[in-house]
A and B are shown apart, each in its own frame.
Chain A
């Protein structure tokens, strides 16, 4: 289990928790439940958690798969620097956010899920993981090979002149096929 990046799972869990908080909050507010103020809070908290967790972190090892359309949020999250980079901050932040959700039935599930995500983030932070933005790679075109710019200075090596000269005794070998039909100049 040495190479597991727990933050990746914590991220999925926190995103799910954000959605559950949001849903619970919407139900609480639209049903005008007792304690609907907690539900209203849960809507705001859910949106915030979703926005924070949507941009996936770059993996320490291996290729990272970014979520569709996450670039914009990546920039926002990146702007907060060490606050969002550090997973200890995230762990305690989520722990704090989830507490008011526990006061109302509609949001209690979101609260527990976010609490679990917070614990996993704590584990990830203890193991030294941190959040890295996934930035689009600038594709560097491979420079055109040098040989095109520097044509050869010398002619290709040829066998010595003795070999090149055609042997008068071997007319067959000396002949070659002319690609065009030729006629001798006759006039």
Chain B
């Protein structure tokens, strides 16, 4: 239990506050409309459906305010920067911005349903009252008109219309239907299946939020009831809307700044086939390295940028982790073929003549994620799965530079690096980097600063045979590194136990860039091996995600 508090306590606290505000708003507005004297006659017509429609509206206002904020990534970066001096815990919360965005979205969906059902009842009962289907008082109240000394109570002014007609001919009704429709389309295209596999559908449909917010402002402009409502919808959402507009403007400005190509490399990869003929085959690789230069661009380790290539797609910005260190005078990204956009980019680069500048590229960023913290921890465990080792390329390079320059900013005493992948042929460039580091460390006699373990999870019989034949060699057959490759997945219990044994009093930061399943495993192990006692080893878990 203590471990859970150490790792998740603050998040749980923020969630409790958020839920608390939601509940408070709902209950407060419910009783405002259900007990307030000024609504006595309206309640005669509508019963508690009035309150049931108004309470979710307040919660909706609050969540529509919140939902825009986590996706203002420049704002998030700014806040992260401000907290550099403050606690690590605060900055960890900002890693979870997408989760919070989704949570707010679920609440909006739920409240929209309640609000809509309540209004369905309202409209039906208003209409029935108008047509005299209920008691005399209802009919009399409905008959009240907009004259010198009375105002109407029942918004349905004529006796011969149907609810559908009424809804579609009032601003509130029409905007309500339109924005609910937009919301439903946004939600269905944001389901995990669509988002992961058909990103463009998700991204373009999500822009319906513009219609959603525009319609929302008109929908909540207040009509027949809100004489004493102090805060209308636009007052809630105008702030975040302006912030978001600034965010998009900033992306536009960043995009306009010129980006020069320093080097474009299509990386070959080596693939050994069978142990019998020991052939080395160069395959046309699906990894593209771009080295770019942009005026005034400053980065930190493990940060990512968004790239936009108008010749491929005007609106799409895709995130890529930078693989260069801040100490270098350029920034680089390694782009792997992973879909339409990346395939087209690799295609364009392949056709590029030697030394020519590539197509115009817009760069937004850099944006910081958890890896910036890696030097703050005395001991760091870095786990990269597959393509997830990319941010760690930046970190390891930066370590190399900091060591060469004896940079005092480096608080880290020890780094454990775990690289998990099915096959290595897409990551030859990373193996090269490790070779260089290995040599450097040995030359300076710092062999135990960096302990790395490579796990090849996609091994088969031919690998085994090859290893058996080359058992005695000094370097590993797969990577040509001194450290031998492990086969299969790591046994995390053993790894954490080893780290704890070798560092009995340290704060250990665990950084993962990889799949969700592994994140759960590592988070659990961090919680399990952490000690609430501040003098003993404590593991903090940080996950990168896009």
Contacts and interface: CB of A to CB of B under 8 A. Distances in A.
Given A4-B198, A105-B163, A27 B188 contact: no
16 contacts: A4-B201, A8-B198, A9-B194, A9-B201, A13-B184, A23-B117, A27-B120, A31-B124, A34-B124, A104-B164, A105-B162, A105-B163, A108-B177, A112-B177, A112-B181, A116-B185
B121 A12 contact: no
A144 to B, nearest CB: 12
B21 to A, nearest CB: 27
A65 interface: yes
B201 A62 contact: no
Contacts of B435: none
Contacts of B193: 8, 12, 56, 65
Interface string B29-73: 000000000000000000000000000000000000000000000
A104 B119 CA distance: 14
A27 B117 contact: yes
B540 to A, nearest CB: 32
A33 to B, nearest CB: 5
Interface string A12-30: 1100100010011001100
Contacts, number: 81
Given A4-B201, A108-B164, A109-B180, 15 more contacts: A3-B198, A6-B201, A8-B197, A8-B198, A12-B193, A13-B184, A13-B188, A16-B184, A33-B124, A34-B124, A34-B127, A103-B164, A104-B163, A105-B123, A105-B167
Contacts of A27: 117, 120-121
B188 A9 contact: yes
Contacts of B124: 31, 33-34, 105-106
Given A105-B123, A109-B177, A23 B194 contact: no
B189 interface: yes
A2 B347 CA distance: 15
Interface residues of B, number: 31
Contacts of B184: 13, 16, 20, 109, 113
A34 B120 CA distance: 12
Contacts of A33: 120, 124, 163
Nearest to B113: A23
B187 interface: yes
A5 B180 contact: no
Most buried by A among B120, B162, B187, B200: B120
Question: 8 smallest A-B Cβ distances: which pairs?
Answer: A105-B163, A12-B188, A105-B164, A4-B198, A13-B188, A33-B124, A106-B120, A16-B188
Contacts of A5: 197-198
A166 B342 CA distance: 67
A71 interface: no
Contacts of A126: none
Contact of B191 (A12, A28, A105): A12
Nearest to A56: B193
Interface string B156-191: 000000111001000000000100110011011101
Interface residues of A, number: 33
B202 to A, nearest CB: 9
Contacts of A12: 188-189, 191, 193-194
A1 B192 CA distance: 18
User: Dominant SS at the B interface?
Assistant: helix
B188 A59 contact: no
Interface of B: 113, 116-117, 120-121, 123-124, 127-128, 162-164, 167, 177, 180-181, 184-185, 187-189, 191-194, 197-198, 200-201, 340, 461
A154 B188 CA distance: 66
A3 B164 contact: no
A104 B120 CA distance: 10
A81 to B, nearest CB: 25
Contact of B340 (A2, A16, A24, A56): A2
Most buried by B among A20, A23, A33: A33
Given A3-B340, A8-B194, A16 B120 contact: no
Interface string A108-125: 110011001000000000
A3 B338 CA distance: 12
Contacts of A62: 197
B187 A16 contact: yes
Contacts of B113: 23
A126 to B, nearest CB: 16
Contacts of B192: 65
Nearest to A106: B120
B12 to A, nearest CB: 27
B198 A9 contact: yes
A106 to B, nearest CB: 5
Interface string A138-177: 0000000100000000000000000000000000000000
Contacts of B461: 145
Contacts of B340: 1-3
B90 to A, nearest CB: 35
A112 B127 CA distance: 23
B475 to A, nearest CB: 28
Nearest to A10: B188
A105 B163 CA distance: 6
Nearest to B116: A109
Nearest to B178: A112
A64 to B, nearest CB: 9
A166 B402 CA distance: 59
A13 B181 contact: no
A109 B181 contact: yes
A148 to B, nearest CB: 13
A75 B167 CA distance: 42
Nearest to A104: B164
Most buried by B among A13, A33, A104, A105: A105
A116 B177 CA distance: 14
Nearest to B173: A105
